[in-house]
Amino acid sequence: MIENRRTDGGLAKTKRSGDVNDINAADSGLRLGPVSQLVVTGHEDLAALLSAGEQGFFEKAEALLGTVPEGFPSMWPDVAALDDADRRWFLRAVHLLTLNDEAAPEDFGRQGALARLARWARVRGSDPDADDGSFEREVLTVSGWAGAVLGARLAAPVQEEQARLRAVYNSPADAALDEKADGKADRLRDALAQTLAERAARWAPPGAGGLESDDLQRLTAMAAQVEAVVVDTFSPYVRARFDGPLNEEFHYADHVHSSVERPDDLDAQVSYLYDEARAQEWPGDPDELRQGLREWLEDDPEAAAEVARLIKLTPLHGLPDTAEGAGRYRRRVRFDEVYLPTDVPAGPPGEWRWELVRVVIHELLHRLAHPAFVDAARGVTRPLVLTEGFTELLTAEALAGAYGLAAAHPAVRQALVGEAGEPPARARPSGPAAEILEIVGPDKFRAAYFLGDIRLIGLG
């Protein structure tokens, strides 16, 4: 049921009750549908409200939303500068925001929301008259309303859960890590040499008929389908971040390249081994670790050549950004760019293409992780629990979704893997991240990852 009340010269403030917003925020199994299911969409009053003039309507909306601090001017001059079509879209968007304002928490930045909508009006992608919910999704996502409402409907972990989470985040290094720290340099080289051998056998097994070419166009089509699968699996959270890639005309397929194009020089080789060492949780100062790897490769041309070869045969994300005129890597990695092998083992594609789907999902999720979530990893004892553990759990969930969609829709299967065989059985990831998921539930887990609301996982 929707109840409207009139305030401030006729603008409608909306209170919602009943099925529209009857959601138990304490339920860790909370399932929120598309944003269009959470909002009041009526536009029937807008024509009457605009009859007194667009400026009058907008200034009343500003007053209703409380977006003009005392002593500050209205945003109207910026709105008036929009062309007619953009301004009409914007005013419809403002009306939608006023209709749904009471659902947003008090600390929702309403002034910033209007400013974002005014900028977005010039690049808008929806029609206010469409009946598919696209206008509502676009407006309430770009304004920041969707993310604010989703986070507000989820409660932070209770005291007992907080204690359990602290124990996970601050768990001491296990025996395997202690063992790695003892005689680290030699152990690390042995471990990485074994990894290189296993990877060479996996991606380019000797005697398997050599290599044949895969089609880069097919791989970009796969990336586009993966993006659709990830959005379908993790909506509404994955789209609710107003400044996220999916709301910035990001198209994953545009960032897929052949691994042949990826640099394989010494810096690239060090980065390749460093990522592998961190994935295996080798301890130590990052700069010292990189320097040790560099010295190993400089002293062992055979190992360096094998790494260079594997760079061209392994699905990888982009290289880290490098500082101008410096040899050290910055922290930020360009997860936008993904390099997929186009020289593949000859024979039936089988698990090969399904493995590429998994990798492409994993790298896209890294790109969609909120910066606040990534930053939170620096404050825990074992940051890979967040940066990789969370990502692996979400990857497994999206991959399961891809399996189901491929089985039900031949076109989806064709885009993902072509004529590859049935997907391999995979065990669900376990470990500290899985324990965190069990404690907080899937919605808080997703809201922390995609929206940066780290209080929901006991951080911040």
- pLDDT of 15 strictly over 70: no
In 3-state terms, what secondary structure has residue 407?
A: helix
Tokens for 289?
């670790």
pLDDT tens readout for residues 341-392 = 887 766 666 677 888 899 999 999 999 999 999 999 888 888 888 999 999 9
DSSP tag of 459: -
Q: Whole-angstrom Cα distance, residue 173 to residue 200? A: 30
3-state secondary structure 166-226: HHHHCCCCCHHHHHHHCCHHHHHHHHHHHHHHHHHHHHCCCCCCCEEECCHHHHHHHHHHH
78-87 b/e with 16+ CB inside 10 Å = b?
Answer: ebeebeeebb
15 by DSSP, 3-state: which?
strand
pLDDT of residue 318: 75
Cα 89–Cα 95–Cα 101 angle in degrees, nearest 5: 135
* Closest by CA position to 227, among listed 425, 400, 368: 368
- Confidence band for 145, pLDDT divided at 50, 70 and 90: very high
* Residue whose C-alpha is closest to residue 282's, from 184, 364, 350: 184
Give residue 20's pLDDT band: very low, low, confident or very high (50, 70, 90).
very low
The tens digit of pLDDT for each residue in 238-247 reads 988 988 888 8
Q: Is the pLDDT of residue 228 over 60?
A: yes
Which residues pair with residue 131 across a beta bridge? none
Average pLDDT over residues 398-405: 94
Residue for token digits 């005014």?
118
Supply the pTM of this predicted model.
Answer: 0.80
Beta-sheet strands, E only, within 217-300 = 256-258
Q: Please report the DSSP string for 21-34 in residue order.
A: T---TT-TT-----
Q: pLDDT (tens digit, 9 = 90+) per residue, 295-330?
A: 999 999 999 999 998 998 888 887 765 443 344 434
| DSSP assignments along 136-161, one per residue | HHHHHHHTSHHHHHHHHTSPPPPHHH
Which amino acid is it at 337?
E
CB-based contact 168:432 (threshold 8 Å): yes
Instruction: Provide the 10 A C-beta neighbour count for residue 413.
Output: 19
* 287 or 120, higher pLDDT: 120
Neighbours of 259 (CB within 10 A): 20
Mean pLDDT of the chain: 80
Taken in order 436, 440, 444, 448, is the CA torsion positive or negative? Answer: negative
Which tokens belong to 433?
A: 């991240």
